[in-house]
């Protein structure tokens, strides 16, 4: 009887271990194949799940900020199958070089050239998938085969793109050819270098009907993780390379406006005003410091001398000009992507990194991961006192929203409008004043 109970417990523990395995980890199983003629395979890894939303993206290698996965300019057809996937140094305006991510609801994606039905595919043979096997384009099936399914796995250096079919990862075959203008993409066992790291940059075609939810205006930007605000550090604010930091008060504001590419300028407000007073001064825009890209291409991590964690990039103010050569102003442009909770994630056009609050002092840019550290509230500076939810009215909805906020619910408020007492705080005094106002007491807001 004791043996029977012990066996049952062991079986239960083994079953729980399988069920409790974290989604997205490389819980690798031994790779097994039957006879080659049977073409039977057992997948080695589980997919990482949906780490990026469906959509069109430019896919950039982490080797350099000008190396992208590309295709030829034509749209591929069935006759063009087996065309190798390769890299090129190109301008972000080349719309034909974007790819559509489609999540398959099983932990994996298909990656298709935008505007065609040709997708990334793992060629098969009786010899299996040897190291260096080139990734090719092939017509996507109605249900993509495992050869056409890819796990996208976040790392500190970028995203790892892993084949479901063979568990090997996409990698630049010839690094120096890639940097010089072209290299095919091959499949290799996982390593932790930049030649297997890629970032995904949302692609917005020029002239598209992109939903511009943010009108050109003056805003404060507050973190959803910590009650801190984006702030330009120190004085003078016009200095080139001024650090962007987190601050406990909304002392600094920014003009956010749509750029021609569909991405947005984020311009420090005082420099924006100064620009129109004195045209000899350039506007200062939020940008990522890309200087570390000049380091060794084969380094396994970013600069460890930085006070920030691995993978973080500095965010600073830069003049509105082409200061990075080929990169031009992409490092200063951001895509504010609206989340379902009313927050925004700011994604940079140069490398797909997201604006991230590290703590109550440091703001950086990191690989986009969907965490609360990368979610921001955009609070209009121009407001109606008492219009807490920014719907244009002052009513009971605002009172309810303020109550929820003070109870520490994760809700959006315009903190400028909520400060109805004018004491630069949002607290119970503001709730009481708003209640009195809505009850027709002789009180004023703001």
CA distance 276 to 253: 17
41-202 against 383-446: fold identical: no
**Residue carrying the six token digits 């199983």:** 29
The pLDDT tens digits of the residues spanning 95-142 come to: 567 899 999 999 999 999 888 888 999 988 767 788 989 898 888 888
pLDDT of residue 405: 92
Q: What residues of the chain score a pLDDT lower than 50?
A: 1-44, 92-94, 292-309, 322-326
pLDDT of residue 7: 41
pLDDT of residue 79: 59
pLDDT of residue 85: 73
Q: What is the DSSP letter of 287?
A: E
pLDDT of residue 13: 32
Spatial neighbors of 57 by CB under 8 A, at least 6 apart, are: 98, 99, 100, 101, 200, 201, 202, 203, 352
CA distance 297 to 195: 8
pLDDT of residue 233: 84
Strand partners, 83: 137
CA distance 354 to 207: 24
CA distance 352 to 326: 17
CATH number of 383-446: 1.10.1330.10
CA distance 421 to 444: 8
CATH T-level fold of 217-299+306-380: Trefoil (Acidic Fibroblast Growth Factor, subunit A) (2.80.10)
pLDDT of residue 324: 44
pLDDT of residue 209: 55
Residue 27 to residues 43, 47, 117, 167, 243, Cα–Cα distance (Å): 11, 10, 32, 11, 41
Q: Where are the domains of the chain?
A: 41-202, 217-299+306-380, 383-446
CATH number of 41-202: 2.80.10.50
């Amino acid at each position: 009887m004791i043996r029977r109970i012990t066996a049952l417990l062991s079986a239960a523990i083994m079953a729980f271990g399988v069920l409790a395995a974290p989604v997205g980890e490389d819980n690798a199983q031994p790779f097994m194949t039957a006879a080659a003629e049977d073409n039977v395979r057992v997948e080695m890894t589980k997919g990482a799940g949906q780490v990026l939303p469906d959509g069109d993206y430019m896919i950039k290698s982490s080797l350099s900020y000008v190396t992208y996965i590309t295709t030829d300019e034509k749209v591929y057809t069935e006759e063009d199958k087996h065309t190798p996937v390769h890299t090129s140094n190109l301008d972000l305006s080349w719309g034909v070089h974007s790819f559509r991510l489609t999540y398959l609801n099983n932990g994996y994606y298909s990656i298709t050239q935008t505007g065609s039905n040709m997708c990334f595919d793992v060629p098969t043979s009786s010899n299996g998938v040897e190291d260096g096997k080139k990734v090719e384009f092939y017509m996507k099936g109605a249900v993509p085969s495992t050869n056409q399914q890819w796990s996208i796995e976040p790392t500190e250096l970028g995203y790892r793109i892993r084949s479901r079919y063979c568990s090997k990862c996409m990698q630049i075959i010839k690094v120096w050819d890639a940097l010089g203008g072209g290299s095919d993409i091959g499949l290799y066992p996982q390593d932790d270098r930049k030649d297997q790291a890629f970032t995904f940059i949302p692609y917005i075609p020029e002239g598209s009907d992109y939903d511009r939810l943010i009108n050109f205006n003056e805003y404060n930007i507050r973190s959803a993780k910590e009650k801190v605000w984006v702030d330009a550090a120190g004085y003078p604010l016009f200095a080139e390379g001024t650090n962007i930091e987190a601050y406990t008060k909304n002392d600094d504001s920014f003009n956010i406006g749509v750029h021609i590419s569909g991405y947005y300028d984020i311009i420090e407000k005082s420099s924006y005003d100064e620009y129109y007073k004195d045209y000899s001064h350039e506007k200062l825009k939020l940008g990522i410091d890309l200087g570390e890209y000049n380091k060794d291409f084969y380094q396994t991590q970013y600069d460890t001398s930085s006070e920030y964690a691995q993978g973080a990039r500095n965010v600073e103010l830069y003049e509105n000009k082409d200061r990075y050569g080929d990169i031009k102003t992409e490092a200063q442009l951001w895509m504010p992507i609206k989340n379902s909770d009313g927050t925004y994630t700011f994604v940079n056009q140069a490398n797909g990194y997201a604006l991230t609050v590290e703590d109550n002092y440091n703001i950086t840019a990191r690989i986009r991961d969907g965490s609360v550290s990368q979610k921001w509230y955009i609070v209009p500076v121009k407001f109606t006192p008492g219009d807490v939810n920014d719907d244009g009215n002052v009513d009971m909805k605002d009172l309810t929203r303020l109550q929820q906020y003070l109870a520490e619910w994760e809700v959006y408020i315009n903190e400028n409008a909520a400060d109805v007492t004018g004491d630069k705080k949002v607290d119970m005094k503001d709730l009481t004043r708003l209640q009195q106002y809505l009850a027709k007491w002789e009180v004023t807001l703001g």
